[in-house]
Structure 1
Amino acid sequence: MFWRDTWTIFRRQMILSLRNPAWVLIGLMQPIMYLALFGPLLQRVAEVPGFPPGDSWKVFVPGLLVQLGIFGGFFVGFAVIAEWRAGVVDRMLVSPAPRGALILGRVLRDVVSLTVQGAVLMAVATAFGLSVPAYVFVLALILVAFLGGAFSAFSYAAGLALKSEDAFAPLINMFALPVLLLSGILLPMTLAPRWLQIVSDFNPFKHVVEALRAVFLGDVLTLVTAFGFGLVIALFVLGLWLGARVFSGQVK
């Protein structure tokens, strides 16, 4: 019952996405623009003391993949607000489908979309000069999938709890700035002053970025990598649990 209902929700969401693929392309444009416009600047920045060793693309591309997973997943909450306003969510809630299936089916659609976007992003990065083994591509897509799924679930929970774009948009903006500045997505935190590095240590997404950069640099079996991937999986499980709780709480 659970997996059948999950598949039903997933299939419905995929059909809706395939009917309007513009959102997938729009979500991919921002990281590709960063890649094309900001990436070449890092080739000079890589000569600055404090920049991590290795090819600048192996430092920059992992950050863009994490950015894709976070923000690609976090904006889907707008869709569930529209579904709630149209009465779609209410009709699903009166069905016998498990609440976990209602959230997981949606999240899996977003995971597929973000995984495809991540693969395209790395293909474009390869054209710019990125060169990594095949297993790095696989591990990077796994991390993007779990990270995007986690933020997709959190986004659905927040959207359904707030039920207002006017409240949801400021929430994203409030979250975006510290994530971008304190996770080292665009520039490694090793370039920051010591006090800012200490502050960034409390940002969990900094450790996710560092884990993926370690993978790109060939350091797969390390505590940094294990901690980053473990954190992403934990966020994924927490997001699904929270999303299911919020969906269940909508029943009056």
Structure 2
Amino acid sequence: MLIGFVFVGLLTVALASLSYAPAMKVTTPQEFGPVINAVAMPAMLLSGLMLPMTLGPAWLDITSRFTPLRYLVDAVRDAYVGSYATSHMLYRALVAVAFAVAATAVGARVFRRVGH
């Protein structure tokens, strides 16, 4: 469970940082909700959060491999079933950390640009 919480924490940091970019670009607060939902809903569905992507059609499974959220969801699933010391878990952990670092960098960059 603890490993799963670490992945959820990484996801929280990444998405919170990444949400700065559209938040700083919209002109009114009312625009933020639709913009975020237009991005978040497809990303959530492609992540395999509701059902594993392997249960869907092949084209959907392939498409979902281009979103880092899928690797985070798969890592949490692996952690909950006890698959800790596998190459899949290492790869997924690296993707999670890279996504969090990249998202934080993007969020910080946008925040700095707006501040000037």
TM-score, normalised to structure 1, is 0.42
2:84 matched residue in structure 1: 220
2:48 matched residue in structure 1: 184
Matched, 1:241 2:111: no
Q: Which amino acid aligns with 2:95?
A: L
Cα displacement string for residues 176-200 of structure 1 (whole angstroms, at most 9, x for unaligned residues)? 2322322210111222122222222
1:159 matched residue in structure 2: 23
Q: Which runs of 4+ in 1 moved over 4 A?
A: none
Paired residues for 1:102-251 under 5 Å: 137-251=1-115
Report if aligned partners of 1:146, 1:236 keep a CA contact under 8 Å in 2. Answer: yes
List gaps (5 residues or longer) in structure 2.
none
Query: Is the radius of gyration larger for structure 1 or structure 2?
Result: 1
- Deviation of 1:235 after TM superposition, in Å, equals 1.9
Cα-Cα RMSD: 1.8
- Deviation of 1:251 after TM superposition, in Å, equals 3.5
- How many residues of Structure 1 are paired with residues of Structure 2 in the alignment? 116
Q: Which amino acid aligns with 1:172?
A: I
Higher relative contact order (CA 8 A, sep 6+): 2
| Between 208-217 and 157-166, the greater mean CA deviation after superposition | 157-166
Percent identity over paired residues? 34
CA distance in 1, matches of 2:104, 2:57: 37
Mark the CA change 1:243 to 1:182 in structure 2 (over 3 Å): closer, same or farther: closer
CA distance in 2, matches of 1:150, 1:239: 5
Q: Which amino acid aligns with 2:21?
A: A
1:99 matched residue in structure 2: none
TM-score, normalised to structure 2, is 0.84
List gaps (5 residues or longer) in structure 1.
1-136
